[in-house]
């Protein structure tokens, strides 16, 4: 299927993608949007024009809201009906020239003319720790090289409750955090800016349906409760983390900022890219068992761009490496009756692959600073420096179809 909207050949956003986001358009209004190629499409305008009527759903005012939560709450049937209707309207089989002309003049905006906003209101955010390569690397560095994985790791998807208030959209810059650290060899902590500012390459799924306290979501039903995915950069301060994290896990080393990409790519768009996950050994408990293809083949890249410099590719990984899949994560999270809310974010944990160039954090890439990276301007990096921009990109490719996420970008500003 092709669109009558011009779509560059390597675009992340062909008509098969149709991601959802929130944008402030040139008139100053903030509305729900989708995107084909570099054209942003105002969904509130489409609804006003009446051309979504024969989708079979009444979308009311949901596209005029400043976040997507109300739209997502309409449920999978509504999302699928809208997707089908959008594909009809924007497919090159649509011969209604009047309709196309009206759309072009009243509902289309170039990506450069809009400001993308936080797509959802996030009530709760959880970060998992589901890459076996990442957990093994961190265990080796922070604890015991011989017993890097703790005894629970292969039995449950380890996670912690993160901070929703400091999740920001791509393009928002974040200051180097201050905090307490224990310098090497010292017996007393000091206060000051982190010296180990880091990124974490992650993806997050967006909850598509709320539950009541006491309800559980089974692994088999879990995908009914998942709307789609974002790219996620879980900014981290490693020296603050290693001093504070025992015994209750990360706290101020993680909650000073996390960055999401602005476009939510739906499970429907990712359907062609399903793959089997790694073999789980030992076998997991019955409530965590899943069948079928529950992982996704999503290529991931991290770039570092120094101030006024060029982009440097520092990591190439893939979401398919995840040991624990999203159904297992959601089943585990709710098995005790913990309730979830539409718009919640559940991040994967750092996505490291088996090769050194596939590690998803500076901590692992430079092995805690002992093996610095050299950038193409000749400078070296143990961790992120002030004015460095971190850019995560992600895309799937198969049989000539490319579905992507765009980018998740943030610059490290000096400490305050």
Q: Which is nearer to Mn ion, 258 or 290 (CB)?
A: 258
Q: How far apart are CA 87 and CA 95, in angstroms?
A: 13
Backbone angles phi, psi at 105, to 5 degrees: -85, -25
**Residue that has been written with the tokens 């062609």 in this structure:** 272
| Beta carbon of residue 398, minimum distance to Mn ion (angstroms, whole number) | 28
Under the binding rule (CB under 5 A), the answer on residue 364 touching Mn ion is no
Q: How far apart are CA 335 and CA 208, in angstroms?
A: 18
Residue span binding Mn ion (CB under 5 A) among the ranges 6-14, 127-135, 370-378, 397-405: 127-135
Q: How many residues bind Mn ion (CB under 5 A)?
A: 3
Under the binding rule (CB under 5 A), the answer on residue 234 touching Mn ion is yes
- Say if residues 244 and 250 touch (Cβ distance below 8 Å): yes
Q: Which is nearer to Mn ion, 19 or 157 (CB)?
A: 157
Q: Is 232 helix (H, G, I), strand (E, B) or coil?
A: strand
Under the binding rule (CB under 5 A), the answer on residue 407 touching Mn ion is no
| Beta carbon of residue 241, minimum distance to Mn ion (angstroms, whole number) | 10
Q: Which is nearer to Mn ion, 42 or 234 (CB)?
A: 234
Q: How far apart are CA 262 and CA 296, in angstroms?
A: 20
| Beta carbon of residue 141, minimum distance to Mn ion (angstroms, whole number) | 15
Residue span binding Mn ion (CB under 5 A) among the ranges 55-63, 183-191, 194-202, 219-227: 194-202
| Beta carbon of residue 202, minimum distance to Mn ion (angstroms, whole number) | 6
Under the binding rule (CB under 5 A), the answer on residue 127 touching Mn ion is yes
Q: How far apart are CA 65 and CA 117, in angstroms?
A: 12
Q: Which is nearer to Mn ion, 20 or 319 (CB)?
A: 319
Among 47, 133, 198, 200, binds Mn ion (CB under 5 A): 200
Under the binding rule (CB under 5 A), the answer on residue 47 touching Mn ion is no
Q: How far apart are CA 340 and CA 73, in angstroms?
A: 13
CB atoms within 10 A of CB 399: 5
| Beta carbon of residue 255, minimum distance to Mn ion (angstroms, whole number) | 11
Residue span binding Mn ion (CB under 5 A) among the ranges 13-21, 227-235, 268-276, 376-384: 227-235
Residue span binding Mn ion (CB under 5 A) among the ranges 12-20, 28-36, 126-134, 275-283: 126-134
Backbone angles phi, psi at 193, to 5 degrees: -65, 145
Fill in the per-residue mask, 299 to 328: x = in contact with Mn ion (CB under 5 A), - = not in contact.
Answer: ------------------------------
Q: Which is nearer to Mn ion, 119 or 159 (CB)?
A: 159
Which residue from 327, 315, 312 is spatially nearest to 378, judged by alpha carbons?
Answer: 312
Give the catalytic positions in this structure: 134
For the record, the structure tokens of 364 come out as 């692992």
Q: Which is nearer to Mn ion, 127 or 388 (CB)?
A: 127
Backbone angles phi, psi at 373, to 5 degrees: -85, 145
| Beta carbon of residue 176, minimum distance to Mn ion (angstroms, whole number) | 18
For the record, the structure tokens of 215 come out as 């309800």
CB atoms within 10 A of CB 13: 28
Residue span binding Mn ion (CB under 5 A) among the ranges 26-34, 195-203, 300-308, 328-336: 195-203
Per DSSP bridges, beta strands 197-198 and 236-237 are: antiparallel
Give residues with Cβ within 8 angstroms of 240, minimum separation 6: 177, 179, 180, 181, 194, 196, 252, 253
Q: Which residue is nearest to Mn ion (CB)?
A: 234
Footprint of Mn ion (CB under 5 A)? 127, 200, 234
């Amino acid at each position: 299927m092709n669109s009558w909207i011009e779509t560059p050949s390597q675009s992340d956003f062909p008509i098969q993608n149709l991601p959802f986001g929130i944008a402030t358009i040139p008139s100053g209004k903030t509305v729900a949007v989708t995107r084909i190629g570099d054209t942003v499409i105002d969904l509130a305008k489409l609804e006003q024009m009446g051309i979504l009527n024969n989708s079979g759903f009444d979308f009311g005012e949901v596209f005029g809201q400043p976040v997507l939560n109300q739209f997502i709450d309409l449920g999978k049937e509504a999302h699928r009906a809208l997707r089908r209707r959008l594909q009809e309207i924007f497919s090159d089989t649509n011969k209604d020239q009047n309709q196309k002309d009206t759309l072009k003049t009243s509902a289309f905006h170039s990506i450069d003319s809009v400001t993308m906003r936080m797509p959802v209101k996030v009530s709760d955010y959880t970060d998992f720790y589901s890459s076996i390569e990442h957990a093994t690397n961190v265990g080796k560095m922070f604890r015991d090289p011989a017993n890097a994985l703790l005894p629970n790791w292969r039995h449950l998807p380890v996670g912690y409750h993160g901070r929703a208030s400091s999740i920001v959209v791509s393009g928002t810059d974040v200051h180097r955090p201050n905090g307490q650290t224990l310098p090497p060899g010292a017996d007393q902590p000091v206060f000051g800016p982190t010296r180990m500012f880091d990124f974490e390459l992650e993806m997050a799924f967006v909850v598509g349906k709320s539950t009541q306290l006491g309800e559980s979501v089974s692994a088999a039903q879990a995908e009914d409760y998942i709307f789609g995915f974002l790219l996620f950069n879980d900014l981290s301060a490693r020296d603050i983390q290693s001093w504070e994290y025992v015994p209750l896990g990360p706290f101020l080393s993680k909650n000073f900022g996390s960055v999401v990409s602005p476009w939510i790519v739906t499970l429907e768009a990712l359907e062609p890219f399903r793959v089997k996950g790694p073999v789980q050994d030992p076998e997991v408990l019955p409530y965590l068992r899943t069948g079928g293809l529950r992982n996704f083949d999503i290529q991931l890249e991290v770039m570092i761009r120094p101030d006024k410099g060029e982009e440097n590719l520092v990591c190439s990984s893939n979401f398919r490496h995840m040991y624990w899949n999203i159904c297992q994560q959601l089943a585990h999270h709710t098995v005790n009756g913990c309730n979830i809310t539409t718009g919640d974010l559940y991040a994967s944990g750092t996505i490291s692959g088996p090769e050194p160039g596939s590690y998803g954090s500076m901590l692992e890439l430079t092995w805690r600073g002992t093996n610095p990276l050299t950038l193409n301007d000749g400078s070296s990096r143990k961790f992120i420096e002030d004015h460095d921009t971190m850019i995560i990109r992600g895309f799937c490719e198969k049989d000539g179809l490319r579905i992507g996420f765009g980018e998740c970008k943030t610059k490290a500003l000096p400490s305050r």
